[in-house]
């Protein structure tokens, strides 16, 4: 029996022997662990798209197409046979010398990106102000209110991408990334909650974010099996990712304080490992302890975000945005962490919705010992 | 020159263990015999040639990958066949797979074509293995594997009998042989105390490590000092100034400071099209000092300005300016497939869509 199966079977047998609900496992071990399955940009989408009064953005392909003569359209697309999906390399080569405007977004100026003008968004108050005025750590910005009425919300990432099809319901950016993470074993994020005396109420726990080297253990429907074991990635015996924040659990809802956390992110064939500044996590743990849903909030740096966006591959054309217009808008909307030299903010307040499954994290020092059982 | 001599020595020492026609030479390696032409130039097989004795590499492809044409008087041998190409010329095939040279191999022994576009592999006559046993490339070289491509191990000092008792077999899983198994080349079935048969390779019983889960994983190497993966062939040498770094996509080769090294794959068309490399300001050429000497697939070329740049398998090497942290791989971007990291295993990087 291999390491993970042995560990999972052992843990489940232990629970069964004690006739415990899985959520009560923490009372025995002091630890709750979840593996993140889905990671979505938190988007508020109204029924009539009120947040985007001018409609959604048009994309690289449209701008490229507009700039071509009829003759060039025919020449470059084999008389129209090469459609949007297969001409993404051409559509972004809009620089003066054919440069890629996603790789070098300052070469060409497109009409400004359409950004969210609505007042509602998901997220948290990250800067502590009620009106978004500039502080030592932030730049002036406009606040949102959550759909259930909580004011003072910061979410400039939503303002940036909220009127772009790729991030909205049915758009491919996050869907693709989640699909690829689900099938590749890359970008696997483990959330480990330690110091848990009571899994439903505990006022002092530590939350650590790791990267696992294992793929999801799936059931026959392709859904992750709760309480599977995942090995933590290590270098020289130490976890490569292991940033922590403190937190508390109230009635089954984990809420952390804020801290800087580096995460291993993979999606759309790109690897980035951004540090989310002032990351906070709110995670609602299901009564049976098998799943959890929640929201990650914090400041996401413009550089990492635009690097990811500019490497989206085919999604660059079927997500319908202009790379250079988005780059320009991202600089303007950044509301966190001013550059000490220029004073311009470098990060975007953001919120992400996550779905997670209960898991066991196999720590490096236990991996060989576990295998020997 | 030293490289040429060592290659010549290899060719001279090559002892053909398998019958082969006069147009090819078999050079013994750990995992089998590398197939070369009579001048020692490496031969290759093409993944897309999926029908026996039929070549899909024609036209421009055949200029880059010249087919191994059979001499006029060549006669087929068992497992070595001659078939007619679309243009009427006669090409050699081994076990039905057409054989090619690579136009970018310069010296005898070069293997610059190995792994190109994940479609081309060096042509090998593999060592005989029983059914269910395989050979896999890993970070420590080519190793034996089970049917799921999980690494096999043996214990130092083990002889024909297994010293791994019931407790030991919880960690080290014996690789069982069928009841009717017979010896095959270096392989022999031994009988365990339980009566079950277990495969032994070159006299040592073989096992799987219970902690290995992934293809090419060799975690068992760290589990005990007495147990080692069965390595058939060590990995190719790398320059001393390189380092190994863990990344989100596996262990890769970096420079001394830990910056990921990228190959500019000229066979691929990237998002930058034909833009001059010099204009790609985010990429820093990996320069070599004047005393730099080639190592394995690593060599140096002299640039127009007189400086020297490292190459790997004949292709220029760079680092990416945005890779600030050791192990960062921000140079890997969907859609721009020209820059590829060099994985320690020699396998392509997982997850890049290539």
Nearest CA distance, A313 vs chain B (angstrom): 5
Residue A99: per-residue pLDDT = 82
A1 in reach of chain B (CB within 8 A): yes
Q: Which of A16-25, A186-195, B38-47 has the lowest mean pLDDT?
A: A16-25
Interface touch B248/A89, C-beta < 8 Å:
no
A270 in reach of chain B (CB within 8 A): yes
Most B CBs within 10 Å: which of A101, A103, A267, as the mutation test of the B interface? A103
pLDDT at A200 over 90: yes
Residue B10: per-residue pLDDT = 40
Per-residue pLDDT tens for B309-342?
999 988 899 999 999 999 999 988 765 667 889 9
The three-class DSSP label of residue B141 is strand
Joined together, the tokens standing for residue B13 give 């020492």
Q: Which residues of B touch A305 (CB under 8 A)?
A: none
pLDDT at A13 over 70: no
How sure is the predictor about A88, in pLDDT bands with cuts at 50, 70 and 90?
A: confident
How sure is the predictor about B17, in pLDDT bands with cuts at 50, 70 and 90?
A: very low
Q: Which residues of A touch B322 (CB under 8 A)?
A: 303, 307
Residue B335: per-residue pLDDT = 58
B94-98 LR contacts (CB < 8 Å, sep 24+): B94/B35, B94/B45, B94/B123, B94/B125, B96/B52, B96/B53, B97/B45, B97/B46, B97/B49, B97/B52, B97/B123, B98/B45, B98/B46, B98/B49, B98/B53, B98/B54, B98/B55, B98/B57, B98/B67, B98/B68
Per-residue pLDDT tens for B73-85?
999 999 999 999 9
How sure is the predictor about A31, in pLDDT bands with cuts at 50, 70 and 90?
A: very high
- Name the strands in the sheet holding B24-29, side by side, starting at the edge strand that comes first in the sequence: B24-29, B32-37, B124-126
B247 in reach of chain A (CB within 8 A): yes
Per-residue pLDDT tens for A287-325?
999 999 999 999 999 999 999 998 887 888 889 999 999
Nearest CA distance, B36 vs chain A (angstrom): 36
Please identify which residue in the block is written with the tokens 């978004």. Answer: A132
Most A CBs within 10 Å: which of B166, B209, B211, as the mutation test of the A interface? B211
Residue B7: per-residue pLDDT = 39
Interface touch B350/A311, C-beta < 8 Å:
no
List, as ranges, residues 341-370 from A with C-beta within 8 Å of B.
367-368, 370
Nearest CA distance, B282 vs chain A (angstrom): 10
A51 in reach of chain B (CB within 8 A): no
Residue A9: per-residue pLDDT = 53
More confident residue, A29 or A125: A125
Interface touch A100/B332, C-beta < 8 Å:
no
Interface touch B335/A314, C-beta < 8 Å:
yes
Of A99, A368, A373, the CB nearest to B170: A373
Most B CBs within 10 Å: which of A210, A274, A371, as the mutation test of the B interface? A371
Mean of the per-residue pLDDT values for chain B? 88
Residue A366: per-residue pLDDT = 67
Residue A26: per-residue pLDDT = 54
Q: How far apart are CA A278 and CA A126, in angstroms?
A: 8
Tell me how crowded residue A111 is: count the other CB atoms within 10 A of its CB.
10
Q: Which residues of B touch A311 (CB under 8 A)?
A: 333-336
Please identify which residue in the block is written with the tokens 């399955």. Answer: A37
Per-residue pLDDT tens for A316-370?
888 999 999 999 999 999 999 999 999 999 999 999 999 999 999 999 766 654 4
Interface touch A3/B213, C-beta < 8 Å:
yes
pLDDT at A98 over 60: yes
Mean of the per-residue pLDDT values for chain A? 90
Residue B334: per-residue pLDDT = 64
pLDDT at B270 over 70: no
Average pLDDT for B80-92: 96
Nearest CA distance, B281 vs chain A (angstrom): 10
Per-residue pLDDT tens for B167-203?
999 999 999 999 999 999 999 999 998 899 999 999 9
Residue B279: per-residue pLDDT = 54
Residue A294 contacts residue A348 (beta carbons within 8 Å): no
Residue B170 contacts residue B260 (beta carbons within 8 Å): no
Torsions phi, psi of B149, nearest 5?
65, 25
The closest alpha carbon to A354, from A24, A26, A35, belongs to A35
B118 in reach of chain A (CB within 8 A): no
Of A4, A271, A314, the CB nearest to B213: A4
User: Which residue from B minimizes the CA distance to A310?
Assistant: B333
Residue B110 contacts residue B189 (beta carbons within 8 Å): no
Provide the residue count of chain B.
354
Most A CBs within 10 Å: which of B260, B334, B349, as the mutation test of the A interface? B334
Interface touch B351/A264, C-beta < 8 Å:
no
List, as ranges, residues 169-188 from A with C-beta within 8 Å of B.
180, 184-187
How sure is the predictor about B3, in pLDDT bands with cuts at 50, 70 and 90?
A: very low
Per-residue pLDDT tens for B131-149?
999 999 999 999 999 999 9
Interface touch A373/B328, C-beta < 8 Å:
no
Residue A365: per-residue pLDDT = 67
Average pLDDT for A9-13: 50
Residue B262 contacts residue B268 (beta carbons within 8 Å): no
User: Which residue from B minimizes the CA distance to A240?
Assistant: B246
Residue B288 contacts residue B300 (beta carbons within 8 Å): yes
Q: What are the Cα distances from residue B295, in Å, to B3, B7, B190?
A: 8, 13, 42
pLDDT at A170 over 60: yes
Q: Is B54 exposed, middle or buried (0-12, 13-18, 19+ CB in 10 A)?
A: middle
More confident residue, B48 or B276: B48
Per-residue pLDDT tens for A14-28?
444 444 454 555 545
Residue B229: per-residue pLDDT = 98
User: Which residue from B minimizes the CA distance to A239?
Assistant: B246
User: Which residue from A minimizes the CA distance to B251?
Assistant: A235
More confident residue, B297 or A36: A36
Tell me the domain boundaries of chain B. Answer: 2-126, 134-233, 243-341
């Amino acid at each position: 029996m291999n390491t993970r199966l042995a560990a999972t079977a052992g843990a489940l047998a232990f629970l069964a022997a004690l006739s415990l609900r899985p959520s009560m496992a923490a009372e025995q071990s002091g630890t709750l662990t979840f593996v993140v399955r889905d990671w979505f940009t938190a988007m508020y989408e109204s029924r009539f798209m009120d947040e985007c009064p001018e409609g959604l953005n048009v994309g690289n392909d449209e701008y490229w197409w507009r700039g071509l003569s009829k003759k060039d359209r025919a020449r470059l697309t084999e008389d129209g046979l090469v459609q949007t999906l297969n001409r993404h390399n051409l559509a972004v080569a809009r620089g003066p010398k054919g440069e890629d405007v996603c790789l070098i977004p300052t070469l060409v100026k497109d009409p400004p990106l359409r950004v969210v003008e609505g007042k509602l968004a998901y997220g948290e108050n990250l800067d502590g102000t009620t009106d978004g005025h500039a502080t030592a750590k932030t730049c002036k910005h406009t606040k949102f209110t959550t759909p259930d009425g909580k004011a003072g919300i910061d979410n400039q990432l939503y303002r940036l991408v909220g009127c772009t099809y790729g991030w909205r319901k049915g758009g491919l950016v996050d869907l693709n990334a989640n699909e690829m993470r689900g099938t590749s074993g890359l970008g696997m994020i483990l959330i480990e909650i330690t110091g848990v005396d009571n899994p439903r109420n505990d006022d002092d726990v530590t939350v650590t974010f790791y990267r696992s080297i294992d793929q999801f253990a799936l059931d026959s429907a392709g859904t992750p099996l709760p309480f599977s074991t995942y090995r933590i990635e290590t270098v020289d015996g130490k976890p490569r990712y292991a940033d922590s924040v403190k937190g508390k659990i109230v009635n089954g809802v984990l809420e952390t304080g804020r801290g800087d956390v580096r995460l291993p992110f993979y999606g759309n064939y790109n690897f980035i490992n951004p540090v989310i500044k002032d990351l906070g996590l709110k995670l609602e743990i299901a009564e049976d302890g098998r799943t959890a849903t929640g929201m990650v909030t914090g400041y996401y740096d413009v550089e990492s975000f635009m690097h990811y966006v500019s490497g989206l591959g085919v999604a660059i054309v079927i997500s319908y945005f202009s790379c250079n217009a988005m780059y320009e808008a991202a600089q303007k909307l950044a509301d966190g962490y001013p550059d000490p030299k220029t004073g311009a903010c470098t990060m975007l307040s953001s919120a992400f919705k996550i779905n997670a499954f209960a898991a066991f994290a196999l720590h490096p020092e236990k991996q060989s010992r576990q295998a020997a059982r | 020159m030293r490289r040429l001599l060592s290659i010549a020595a290899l060719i001279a020492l090559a002892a053909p263990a398998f019958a082969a026609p006069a147009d090819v030479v078999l050079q013994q390696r750990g995992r089998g015999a590398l197939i070369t032409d009579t001048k020692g130039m490496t031969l290759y097989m093409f993944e897309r040639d999926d029908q026996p004795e039929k070549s899909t590499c024609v036209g421009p492809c055949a200029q880059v990958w010249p087919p191994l044409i059979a001499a006029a008087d060549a006669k087929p041998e068992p497992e070595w066949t001659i078939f007619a190409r679309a243009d009427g010329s006669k090409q050699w095939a081994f076990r039905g797979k057409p054989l090619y040279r690579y136009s970018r191999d310069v010296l005898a022994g070069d293997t610059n074509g190995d792994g190109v576009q994940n479609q081309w592999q060096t042509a090998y006559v593999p060592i005989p293995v029983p059914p269910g046993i395989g050979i896999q490339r890993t970070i420590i070289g080519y190793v034996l594997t089970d049917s799921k491509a999980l690494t096999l191990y043996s214990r130092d000092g083990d002889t024909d009998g297994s010293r791994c008792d019931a407790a030991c077999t919880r960690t080290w899983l014996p690789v069982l042989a069928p009841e009717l198994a017979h010896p095959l080349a270096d392989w022999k079935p031994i009988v365990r105390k339980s009566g079950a048969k277990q495969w032994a390779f070159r006299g040592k019983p073989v096992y799987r490590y219970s902690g290995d889960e992934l293809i090419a994983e060799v975690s068992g190497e760290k589990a005990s000092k007495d147990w080692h993966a069965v390595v058939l062939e060590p990995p190719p040498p790398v320059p001393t100034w390189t380092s190994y770094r863990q990344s989100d996509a596996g262990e890769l080769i970096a420079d001394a400071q830990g910056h990921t090294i990228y190959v500019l794959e000229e066979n691929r068309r990237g998002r930058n099209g034909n833009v001059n490399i010099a204009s790609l300001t985010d990429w820093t050429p990996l320069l070599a000092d004047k005393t730099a000497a080639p190592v394995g697939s690593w060599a140096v070329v002299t640039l127009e300005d007189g400086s020297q740049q490292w190459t790997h398998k004949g292709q220029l090497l760079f680092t990416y300016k945005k890779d600030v942290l050791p192990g960062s791989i921000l140079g890997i971007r969907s859609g721009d497939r020209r820059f590829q990291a060099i994985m320690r295993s020699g396998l392509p990087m997982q997850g890049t869509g290539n």
